[in-house]
Amino acid sequence: MKSRALLLAALLAFAGHALAATGAIEPLPFKDHAQEVRFQNLTRQLRCMVCQNEDLADSNADLARDLRLEVFQLMQQGKTDAQIKQYLVDRYSDFVLYDPPLQPGTWLLWFGPLAILLAGGLVVVVTVRRRRVVAGTNERNMANTERAGTDPADAGDDW
């Protein structure tokens, strides 16, 4: 079974989905529905080490199966999501986490978008203010640019 999975992985370099497309469906004896939902959410945030383009919830790899069972058992022992994640990180490194922890190395990842947003926001503010200054003081310029708008095709609705 496993060697076949490996062979398939090699064959399916094009679309690894196929491997998982056999479905990782296994009923586990959850305490209640809430726990099942928690399990599904948690395993979706974890990366499979074997089929690295799949999350733990969907991977059909043998190890993924073992790890799901491990996660399930840790849940039964009353471990929190954070503790379960730490358990896996201790063994497999941060690579298993689909949301890398915030640390100096990942500041760029977590704050980069914010920095881009702020920088872009600054540009927008400057642009808007500059255009307004023109509106207030430079009537000649305004009359100049107005010409383009007198085109009949532009006329009609102002929307």
Task: Please give the structure tokens belonging to residue 103.
Answer: 């640390």
From the list 30, 31, 52, 34, the residue with the least C-alpha distance to 98 is: 52
121 near another protein (CB under 8 A): yes
By CB under 8 A, what part of segment 61-90 binds another protein? 62-63, 66-67, 70, 89-90
34 near another protein (CB under 8 A): no
Distance CA 30, CA 114 (A): 40
Task: Please give the structure tokens belonging to residue 116.
Answer: 């881009």
Please state the length of the chain: 159
157 near another protein (CB under 8 A): yes
146 near another protein (CB under 8 A): yes
The correct pick among 80, 83, 93, 102 for binding another protein (CB under 8 A) is: 93
Q: CB-wise, 16 or 79, nearer to another protein? A: 16
